[in-house]
């Protein structure tokens, strides 16, 4: 057995044994099991390499940024800026997504433009508004460092460095980013109780309002489903137009992928885990706070041709005039309770787990 002393944890730490071989994910029973790709099995060696690469600035054209620059652990692997600048100071105009529980996502990016983590990795690596470096150049730079050939050898059986292997290792590391120990998880496991207001917020979150029979609801769980609070994984079911813009300003969204007019303005309903840590919100980072998000759903929905029917017909007051502005009619207190529930999704263990931190420091 090999031993090394963990640099990031400081010298006083005991040496940790290096684990090798298959990497088992510890999945909670209340989340569905998933099949990982057979051509990229998780190994400790692959995950270790992937973590090095995730924080490797040599993968950007001027050696200034890594994946970890826009996906920061303290913000649940999102960024606190509306748009994170790439190496040239320009940006894609999109908000960096929080990276966790990715094994349950089969359409990645806001508009679903990638179907695997392996495929997704090439996008930020080469995009001019992100890391802006051709894959061949990344390979050459990694080959020139003493650190990497042995790590590729350990992960893939020989020390050849290729773009495909870079993407595979990054994907392996990202599959280990599981956030399953929030207050809400502990509640789901029966380990603690939520406060009365958190419980009320949870009920409102999941309830579709039915004013005729006195059922109050926020309607959120119609699109942010299950224990992950994420969009459906069936086809493009998890993509919706949630009323951010009217027809004049509607962006393509999913239409860029499917070419269909009825997909215009639809974006993936992201999971809401650690949502209190990942401000600003929405694909373009337009909302700075959860209060603004709740105000949006409650009273600022914009009509457009593809606006989701689940939003059009959801209200806590009986709708008399279907041309009137769409309003959910939650009270201030109810909005606050939903926000309190959203705060139970914060997983402080996830954002401090040393296994996910920058190994180069």
Q: Note the residues at the interface with ligand HEC (CB under 6 A).
A: 65, 67, 69-71, 84, 86, 92, 94-97, 99, 102, 105, 108-110, 113, 117, 120-121, 124-125, 130-131, 170, 174, 218-220, 222-224, 240, 242, 244, 267, 269-270, 272, 275, 278, 281-283, 293, 297, 308, 310-311, 338
Q: Which is nearer to ligand HEC, 44 or 271 (CB)?
A: 271
Residues found in the chain: 361
**Shortest approach of ligand HEC to residue 292 CB, angstroms?**
10
Cβ proximity to ligand HEC: between 45 and 102 the closer is: 102
Task: Look up residue 278 and give its two tokens.
Answer: 């990942």
Smallest distance from ligand HEC to CB 5, Å = 28
Judged by beta carbon, residue 46 or residue 270, the one nearer ligand HEC is 270
Cα torsion angle, 346, 352, 358, 361, sign: positive
- 95 touches 275 (CB < 8 A): no
CB of 13 to ligand HEC, least distance (A): 28
Q: Which is nearer to ligand HEC, 45 or 70 (CB)?
A: 70
For the bound state, the minimum distance from the C-beta of residue 123 to ligand HEC, rounded and expressed in Å, comes to 7
Q: How far is the CB of 137 from ligand HEC (least distance, A)?
A: 14
Q: State which residue, 20 or 295, has the beta carbon closest to ligand HEC.
A: 295
Pick from 329, 353, 303, 285: nearest CA to 81: 285
Give the list of residues 6+ apart from residue 240 with CB closer than 8 angstroms, or none: 223, 231, 266, 267, 269, 308, 310, 311
Q: Which of 311, 273, 343, 310 is nearest to 104 (CA)?
A: 273
Closest approach of Cβ 107 to ligand HEC, in Å?
7
How far is residue 128's CA from residue 99's CA, in Å, rounded to a whole number?
21
Residue 56, Ramachandran bin (φ over 0: left; ψ between -120 and 50: alpha; else beta): beta
Cis peptide before 110 (omega within 30 of 0): no
Compare residues 4 and 322 and give the one whose CB is closer to ligand HEC. Answer: 322
């Amino acid at each position: 057995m090999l031993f090394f002393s963990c640099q990031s944890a400081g010298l006083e730490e005991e040496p940790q044994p290096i684990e090798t071989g298959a990497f088992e994910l510890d999945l909670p029973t209340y989340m569905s099991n998933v099949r990982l790709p057979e051509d990229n099995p998780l190994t400790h060696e692959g995950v270790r390499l992937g973590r090095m690469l995730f924080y490797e600035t040599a993968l950007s054209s001027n050696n200034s940024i890594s994946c970890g620059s826009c996906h920061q652990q303290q913000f649940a692997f999102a960024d606190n800026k509306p748009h994170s600048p790439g190496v040239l100071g320009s940006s894609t105009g999109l908000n960096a997504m929080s990276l966790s529980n990715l094994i349950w996502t089969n359409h990645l990016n806001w508009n679903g433009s990638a179907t695997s983590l392996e495929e997704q990795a090439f996008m930020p690596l080469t995009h001019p508004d992100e890391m802006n470096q051709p894959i061949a150049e990344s390979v050459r730079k990694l080959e020139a460092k003493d650190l990497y050939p042995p790590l590729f050898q350990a992960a893939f059986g020989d020390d050849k460095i290729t773009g495909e292997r870079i993407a595979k290792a990054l994907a392996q590391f990202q599959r280990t980013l599981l956030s399953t120990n929030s207050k809400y998880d502990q509640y789901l496991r029966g380990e603690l109780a939520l406060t009365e207001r958190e419980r009320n917020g949870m009920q409102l979150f999941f309830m579709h309002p039915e004013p005729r029979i006195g059922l109050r609801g926020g309607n959120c769980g119609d699109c942010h489903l299950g224990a992950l609070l994420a969009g459906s994984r069936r086809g493009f079911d998890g993509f919706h137009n949630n009323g951010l813009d009217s027809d004049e300003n509607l962006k393509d969204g999913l239409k860029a992928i499917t070419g269909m007019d009825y997909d215009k303005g639809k974006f993936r309903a992201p999971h809401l885990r650690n949502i209190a840590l990942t401000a600003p919100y929405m694909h373009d980072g337009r909302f700075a706070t959860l209060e603004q998000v709740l105000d949006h759903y409650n009273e600022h929905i914009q009509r457009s041709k593809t606006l989701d029917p689940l939003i059009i017909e959801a209200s806590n007051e009986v709708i008399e005039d279907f041309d009137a502005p769409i309003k959910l009619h939650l009270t201030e207190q109810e909005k606050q309770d939903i926000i309190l529930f959203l705060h139970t999704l914060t997983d402080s263990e996830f954002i401090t787990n040393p296994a996910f931190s920058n190994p180069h420091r």
